Amino acid sequence: MGRNLLSGILYLLCMALVQAGTDKTADELIRIQSEISQANKTLTDNQEQQTALMSELAEIEKQYGITVVSLKAMEKQIAEKQQKLRKVKDETSTLSADISEQKKALEVQIKAAYAMGKKDKLKLMLNQQDPALSSRILVYYDYLNKDRLAKLDYILEAQSRLTALELEQVKDTEILEQNLKVNEAQQKLLVDTQAKRKELLALLEKDYSSTQAKLSQLQEGEQRLQKVVAGLQRFNFKEVIKSVFDLSSDQPFEKLKGNLPWPVEGQIVQKFGSQRMDSRWDGVLIEASEGTELKAVSNGRVVFADWLRGYGLLIIIDHNDGYMTLYAFNQSLYKSVGDQVKAGEVIAAVGKSGGRDQPGLYFGVREQGKPVDPLLWCKQPEPGEVG
């Protein structure tokens, strides 16, 4: 369109110059041709730059999503390791106190035995005046000896367990310190990625400063999504799904109309069919905090899980018989193509990928490849709310 306009301008200027009959016609014509050539080159360069920036944005947002997932996993490991260390510390403290008590009891027995002396036992054995008393005292001696031996065995075993616990504590502390270092590095990577994304969005905003440019970008994204859905629709997943995921006992998706759960709780800020510049929303936009987990609304199989221009990190689930659900603008994807999912299973986290400046979830429903209103399929929410 830009080149046709420039060509038209060139034609009108040339006609004006001819009619004027000036001697500078040839020079003016050459100058104008040069300016048009430069304008065309600038236009081409801008388009190439925009394409390159969008490719870079895709890689950054993918990396951001991966880093967030990795960071969450590392934080979970750190929490588990800290909890384990607390338990080991408590057990070590309890065991040390128990050993100390056993040692004190043993010391009392040893002192008592020493005070009585070995000669007393020998005298009792030779004492024939009161055999019953001698017998009882000898039994008492045997009892004390067995009890002392039992206490000694317990102390030895407890000390061995205490040593093992201390070694385990040292090892777990080293692992925890390593995990904390990795966690710190991932936090830095996350901050750097966020900063780089912000710079990139500023460049893209500069390139797309005009409404027409933004509209073209939006329309191109919608066309890409339509092509993806159409391509997936042509492929029959029915047999593939049934071969690995028994759907025979599941209620058909079409029977769930009006009763599907919402993928995430939040306010619907854009309804199906509402204005989207010179286009229309072919799904709903749900406002939710970044990082909020979102869930599959029904059983199915992931048939798309990747970054798509205009929609960011996108997951598409096939529910058989021509029905699909779409979840876009995600921060992270937890599922891959081919994964089978159950209703209510967490599949991604809410984000603002695709170049958005506010977090939210695009949720769409497709019937035979055509967009349908999710409000007709999901449970009726309170005014403005879902979930």
Instruction: Report CA-CA distances (Å) from 88 to 50, 155, 171.
Output: 56, 19, 12
Q: Over 80: is that where the pLDDT of 83 sits?
A: yes
| pLDDT for res 120 | 54
What integer best gives the mean pLDDT of the chain? 75
Q: Give 54 or 132, the one with higher predicted confidence.
A: 54
Q: Over 80: is that where the pLDDT of 209 sits?
A: no
Query: Tell me: the pLDDT tens digits for 354-363?
Result: 888 899 999 9
- Residue 12 CA to residue 27 CA, distance in Å, equals 16
3-state secondary structure of 98: helix
> How many residues in the chain?
387
Nearest to 200 by CA among 360, 64, 361: 64
| pLDDT for res 255 | 92
Q: Would you say the pTM of this structure is higher than 0.85?
A: no
Q: Taking the alpha carbons of 293, 385, 342, 226 in that order, is the dihedral positive or negative?
A: negative
Once rounded to an integer, what is the mean pLDDT over residues 197-221?
62
48-59: burial string, b at 16+ Cβ within 10 Å, e else: eebeebbeebbe
Phi, psi dihedral angles at 178 (to 5 degrees): -65, -45
Least confident of 174-178, 184-188, 273-277, 379-383: 379-383
Once rounded to an integer, what is the mean pLDDT over residues 288-297?
95
Nearest to 57 by CA among 306, 359, 312, 314: 312
- Residue 112 CA to residue 120 CA, distance in Å, equals 12
Q: Over 60: is that where the pLDDT of 27 sits?
A: no
Query: Tell me: the pLDDT tens digits for 297-341?
Result: 999 999 999 999 889 999 999 999 899 999 999 999 999 999 999
**Any idea which residue has 């500023």 for tokens?**
202
Q: Over 80: is that where the pLDDT of 75 sits?
A: yes
362: enclosing H helix or E strand: strand 361-367
**Any idea which residue has 């991932």 for tokens?**
186
- Residue 282 CA to residue 379 CA, distance in Å, equals 19
Q: Over 90: is that where the pLDDT of 260 sits?
A: yes
